[in-house]
Structure 1
C-alpha cells in the first residue's frame, strides 16, 4: 500500500500564539514538509489546488516541480486539480511536463472543487459542474492518448489538428484519481475509464463513503476492468499524535476548536467518534486506520492530513516522524497480511503503466501477425 500525506495549504492563525504565518512562510513550509515526508519513508505527497484566501497552493505543478528537484523517490500528486475550471489543454501539458521533470513520479487527482466563487473567477457556471467534469475529462484523455486531436465541445473553443506538448513521458499518461466526497457521477467516470477513485472520507460518517466506493467498485467491474475488489481505491485520514494520548488531546484541542474547517461545530470527542480523525497515540492511529479495511475493503492508497488548523511547522515535522517511525511500518505489514493475492497492493505507477502499454502493443502486433498468416 502507498501511504503518504496531503495538504490543503491553508493559512490559519495558531490559536495558542495568535500568530498567522505569511504566504511565503506557508509555501516554504509545504516544501519542507514534502521533503521530510520522503526522509521518513512515506510514499506520496499531494497538495490541493486552491485559489481562494486563505490558501496558498494555486500553482500546484510549480510547487511539485520544485519538490521533484529535491527528492528522488516520492510520488508527487494533487489532492485536487480542478477539472471543471482548468483548461484541459493546460492540465495535459502541465502534468506531462511534471512527468518529465520528476522521471515519472507523478499522478494527479481530479475534482470539481468545493468553492463556489472559483467558477466565476475562471468564467465557468457552477450549475454545470458535472457536465464540465465529463466533457473536460474526455478531452484531457484524448490530449494525452492521441498525437493529433480534432475536437469540438460545448465549453471551450474547438481544436483542429492540435498536439499537446510535451507528449507524456514514454507515451504513457499520468495515472488519474477522481476525488469525490458526495457525487456519484464522479465514481461512474472513474469506473468507466478504469481510473482510481479517492474518497476523501475525513468529514462525513463512513456509511456515506461506503455507498460511493461500492458504486465505483460495481461499475469498475461492469466496464470490464477487473473484479470489484480489484478496483483502485484511495482514502483520506487525519491524525494528531503524541506518545501519550492525553497529551495529544490536550495539545490538539485548541487547534480543533478554532479551525475554520470544523471549529465551533461538533466537539473533538464527537468528531473523532464519527470520522477518521484520530487524536492520540501512534498505536491508536494504527488501530483506527486498520478499521478502514473492514468498512471499505482492500485499498491501495492512504493519505493523512497533518499540517492544517494552524499547527506550527515544528509540530508537523514531529507528526511526520511519528507517522514514519511508528505508524507506517505497522500499517504496511497488517494491510499486506489481509490482502488477497489477486488484489493489487499499490496503485499503478509509471513503470507499471509503461509495462502494460508494451504488453498491449505486443499483443496487438501478435494478433495482427496471426490475422495476416490466416
Structure 2
C-alpha cells in the first residue's frame, strides 16, 4: 500500500490574513512539501497540471525533475497529465526522460482536466474529450511499447517509422493511472490496458465511485489481466488535523468556507459527512480512511490533498508531520492485516522490471490494434 499527497498548485489568499502568496512562493512551497513528504516517510508526491490562474503547475515534468534531484526514495507522479490537450509524442518523451533522471521513481495519471477553455488554447475541441483521451493514450502506449511506430488517427498528423527517445528505462514504461470522477469510458480504458484506475473521490459520495471502480475491476478481469481483486485502484482523500477535533474544525473552517473549489456551498459538516474530507484528530483520519477498504476493496494507493485553500506552508508542513508520524504508520499496519496474498502491492519500477524479466505481466496492454470496449 502506497501513501502520499497530491497538490493542485492553487494560488489562493489566506482568508485569515488576506495575504496571497506570489507564484514564486507557491512553486517553492510545493517543492518544500514534496521534500517533507519524503522526510516523514510518505511514498508518493503528485502534482496536477493546469494552464490557467490561479494555478501554477503548468509544467509537471520540470517540477518533478527538480524534486527528483533532491529526493532519493519518493515516487514522483502527476494528479493529472492532460492526455487530451498534450501531444502524446511529447508526453512519451518528457516522462521517459524524467524516468531516467529519477532512476525509475516515476509514474503518471492520465486525465481530461476540469478546465474547459484549455481545449481551444491547445487547438482541441472539448466536445471530443473522450475520443481524444482514448486515441491519444493509444498512441502514447504504442510509443512506449514499440521501438518503431507507424500511426494514423483522427487528431494528429500521421507518424511513419518514428522512434520516441529516450526509450523507457529498462524497457519498462512508467506505470499509468487513468483518473476519472465520472466517466465509465475511462474506467474501461484503464481496464483494457491493464493500467491503474484512480478514483479521485474528494467531492462526491462514495456510491458514485463504487460503481466506477466495480466496472473497472470487472473489465480488468475480462481483458485477462487478473482477477477483479488484482486490479490496481487508487483513491483520493482530504484531511486537516490537530490534536483534538475541536481545534481542527475551528482552524480549518475559514479556509473551507472561502476555498475556490467548494467554498460558499455545502457546510463543512455536510461535506465531511458525504465525502472523504476529514477535519479532526489523527485518529479520526485513521478511522475514516480505513472505511475506504470496506467501500472499494483492497487497493494500492491513497493520496491526500493537504496544501490548498490558502493554507500557509508552515501549517501544511505541520499536517505532514501528523500524517507521517501518527496516521500513515497505523494505516500501513491496518491495511496490511487481512490483505489477501494475491492482491498486488502498489506499482514500482523495480517490481515491474522484475515482472517483465520473469515473463509476467508488466502492464503492456491488450492486443495491439484492439479497441477498448471490444
Residues 257-295 of structure 1, C-alpha deviations (whole Å, 9 max, x = no match):
000100000000000000000000000000000000110
Distance 2:239 2:353 in 1: 35
Cα deviation, 1:116-163, whole Å, max 9, x if unaligned, reads 000010000000011001110010011011111111111000111111
Match of 2:4 in 1: 4
Q: Deviations over 1:145-198 (max 9, x none)?
A: 111111111100011111111111011100000000000000000000000000
Structure 1 CA distance for aligned equivalents of residues 325 and 355 of structure 2: 34
Question: Which has the higher Rg, Structure 1 or Structure 2?
Answer: 1
Q: Who is 2:122 aligned against?
A: 122
Q: Distance in 1 between matches of 2:358 and 2:136?
A: 29
Alpha-carbon separation, structure 1, partners of 2:114 and 2:248: 30
Q: Tell me the equivalent position of 1:367.
A: none
- Residue number in structure 1 paired with 2:305: 305
CA distance in 2, matches of 1:309, 1:338: 37
Structure 1 gap segments, 5+ residues each: 362-374
SS of the residue aligned with 2:79?
Answer: strand
Quote how far apart the aligned CAs of 1:200 are. Answer: 0.1
- Runs of 4+ aligned structure 1 residues displaced above 3 Å come to none
Q: What's the TM-score once normalised by structure 2's chain length? A: 0.96
Partner in structure 1 of residue 161 of structure 2:
161
Deviations 1:30-75 (A, max 9, x none): 0000000000000000000000110000000000000000000000
Correspondence for 2:296: 296
**Matches of 2:70 and 2:215 in 1, distance apart?**
39
Structure 2 gap ranges (5+) = 361-374
TM-score normalised by the chain length of structure 1: 0.96
The equivalent of 2:216 in structure 1 is 216
Query: What are the within-5 Å matches in structure 2 for residues 17-28 of structure 1?
Result: 17-28=17-28
* Rounded Cα–Cα distance in structure 2 between residues aligned with 1:235 and 1:70: 27
| Residue pairs, 1:227-266, within 5 angstroms | 227-266=227-266
Partner Cα separation in structure 2 for residue 347 and residue 212 of structure 1: 20
1:366 aligned partner: none
> Across the two proteins, how many residue pairs are aligned to each other?
361
**Residue of structure 1 in register with 2:355 after alignment:** 356
- Aligned position for 2:198: 198
Which position in structure 1 is the counterpart of 2:364? Answer: none
Q: Distance in 1 between matches of 2:338 and 2:20?
A: 44
RMSD (Å) for aligned C-alpha atoms: 1.0
Q: CA offsets per residue over residues 183-236 of structure 1, 9 Å max, x none? A: 000000000000000000000000000000000000001011111111100000
Structure holding more helix per residue: 1
Query: What is the CA–CA distance in structure 2 between the aligned matches of 1:135 and 1:40, rounded to whole Å?
Result: 39
The reply on whether 1:31 has 2:31 as its aligned counterpart is yes
Corresponding residue for residue 107 of structure 2 = 107
